[in-house]
Amino acid sequence: MKIRFLGVRGSIPSPMTTKQLKDKFVKLLELATVEHMKNGSSCSDIMSKLYPQIGLIGGNTTCVEITVNNTCLIFDMGTGIRQLGDEILKNFDKNKSYEFHIFISHTHWDHLQGFPFFGPAYRPNVKLNFYSPQPDIKGRLEYQHDFRFFPVSMEQMASQKIYHQLETEETVTINNILIKNIELHHPGKNYAYRIEYGGKSFVYATDAEYNNQSKEKIDRYIDFYKDADILYFDAHYSFDEEIEKIDWGHSSAIFGIELAIRANVKNLYLTHHAPEKDDFEIYRLLEKALEYQHLTYPGSNLKVELAREDTDVVLE
């Protein structure tokens, strides 16, 4: 199972500003000078070592690709899906049939806005399967393509489109891959997906709030996340913001650590980074969360990382 993070921001795309780029260069020069003076390392070695601190987190909104053998699953269609489409078209064969399985957690803009720019959707030899427990998923997608908002309707996009209306907590099987869902607490409803194949599991759980939920609901989430190899978790807020913004529908890295440890998760990837936070601030939130983990759960083996755009993770 190969997992690729194509978009890791929440709410709205957040491309890097000129000031943020300058700050990156300044930080790189500061760290590189110290590293070179200390070890006499080459530029390439310095870059490899410093990348976690100065590498880009990314500005595209939510999209994750999972490939198992020749099966492609896509989770949400934020602006990150455009890059995926462009890459597919680079080696596109008009005489070959292509099929994609797209799972939609909910239909807020940041989870749909990339689809009009997904190039394969305009090709007749492409079959797109849409899955979601959201009511009338077909109507919701078509509404985004109303001529008032976008010049090309869903019908005018040449690909074949099939809509699979899921029930809450239904299990779907695609080429021996199991995909389960559970409803999360988010305005307008949202759904997490658990993907299982070959004894490995990945849980896609963006856009969710946990701090004002009953013990019964929290226990159900923990059961859904139980023993996952990777939990892909909404860490949009700092812990203080999460406490203040009741019913805004997002969580924090600290709450993610709590749930992941209680669920015996192996790896926690923090995502849906707030657009107003630059990379340095997001790394500071990670450092605070890791400090919390070390102090509260000193024996924990949970690995906590930031989800960064265009990152691959392989579960074997």
Tell me how many degrees the CA angle 96-99-101 measures, rounded to the nearest 5: 170
How is residue 172 annotated by DSSP? E
Can you tell me whether residue 309 is helix, strand or coil?
coil
| Residue at 216: amino acid letter | E
* Residues listed for the chain: 316
Residues of the chain where predicted confidence (pLDDT) is lower than 50? none
Q: Tell me, what's the pLDDT at 212?
A: 83
Q: Tell me, what's the pLDDT at 46?
A: 67
Q: Tell me, what's the pLDDT at 87?
A: 97
Q: Tell me, what's the pLDDT at 17?
A: 86
Q: Tell me, what's the pLDDT at 4?
A: 98
Q: Tell me, what's the pLDDT at 35?
A: 58
Secondary element (H or E) of residue 304: strand 303-306
Q: Tell me, what's the pLDDT at 38?
A: 65
Q: Given the DSSP bridges, would you call strands 71-75 and 98-103 parallel, antiparallel or unpaired? A: parallel
Question: Do 98 and 126 form a contact (C-beta atoms < 8 A)?
Answer: yes
Q: Tell me, what's the pLDDT at 251?
A: 97
Q: What's the sign of the alpha-carbon dihedral 312, 51, 13, 306? A: positive
How far is it, in rounded angstroms, from Cα 109 to Cα 61? 9
Q: Tell me, what's the pLDDT at 66?
A: 98
- Tell if the pTM clears 0.85, that is, is over it: yes
Question: How confident is the model over 3-36, as pLDDT tens digits?
Answer: 999 999 999 999 888 888 888 778 777 777 765 6
Can you tell me whether residue 120 is helix, strand or coil?
helix
Q: What is the DSSP string of 230-268?
A: EEEEE--B-HHHHHHSTTS---BHHHHHHHHHHTT-SEE
